[in-house]
Homo-oligomer: A and B are copies of this chain.
Amino acid sequence: MKPVNDNAQGLLALRLSAHLPFGRSEHELLTGVPWRTEEMAARHAFIREGDRPTHSCLIVRGIVVRSQYGADGQRQILSVHIPGDMPDLQSLHIRSMDHDIETVSAARIAFVTHDDLRRLCDASAHLAAALWRESLIDAALFRAAIFRNAQLGAEARLAHFLCEMQLRHAAVDLVIDGGFDFPMSQELIGEVLGLTVVSINKAAQALRAQNLIRMEKGRVVVLDWDGLVRFGQFDGSFLHMEQPQRPLAAAS
């Protein structure tokens, strides 16, 4: 297991080829695309509702969230994105953004122009399908969120969310010693799960009390994967990974 690739081409190629392994020509097309990488501060909304982006982005390092605002300013976080994700692929085919995208922690984000992506898709229906698939997985995350927020109580909701995070981090080799770095405050997690800080805090304590997780500032460790899965009624199949439904758990 090498450390995670922190170069945009590599990350993307790895990701796309995971499900539809492709040939040399596609690989060359992919690595030929120019990326512009940018370092960003925490809490920076770099795409806003109403924007008409000309680029899509790929997260290389850090955490990024999509959010939508209500009439009286309440924020709902629609999804949480980690390295390897392309959270605004949709802007390739939908002109205008219907939500914001912003960093949580400091982050490194790579940008590619829509024109380049379109060239890629025109040149290879195979690559187009792979990118399309990525956007479909994104939709699957949304479905899971709808289920979670509507059907689970506060504690199970948090458990479900942490299961998802653990699995997605594992998929990009970001699970180390049974856990992952996670710079979201409880307040932010509340905005993901549709709960207040207070409820998140109590839920977190409940999960800790049952020895399911450890949750310190900036880091989450899953102590009992099976238990957490059961508790959160988590069924990871919506992530549609070929791989290890089960993250190499076991904390020290």
Contacts and interface: CB of A to CB of B under 8 A. Distances in A.
A146 B76 contact: yes
Q: How many copies of the shown chain assemble into the complex?
A: 2
A76 B157 CA distance: 14
Contact of A132 (B132, B149, B150, B194): B132
A233 B70 contact: yes
A191 B83 CA distance: 34
Contacts of A136: 90, 93-94, 135
B240 A143 contact: no
A128 interface: yes
Contacts of A36: none
B93 A132 contact: yes
Nearest to A133: B93
A55 interface: no
A99 interface: yes
B121 A125 contact: yes
A65 interface: no
Given A93-B129, A125-B122, A136-B135, A149 B98 contact: no
Contacts of A125: 121-122, 125, 128
Contacts of A71: 233
A238 interface: yes
Nearest to A237: B98
A164 interface: no
Interface string A104-133: 000000000000000001100100110011
A149 B149 contact: yes
A41 interface: no
Contacts of A194: 149-151
6 interchain residue pairs of minimum CB distance: A150-B194, A142-B142, A139-B139, A93-B133, A98-B238, A71-B233
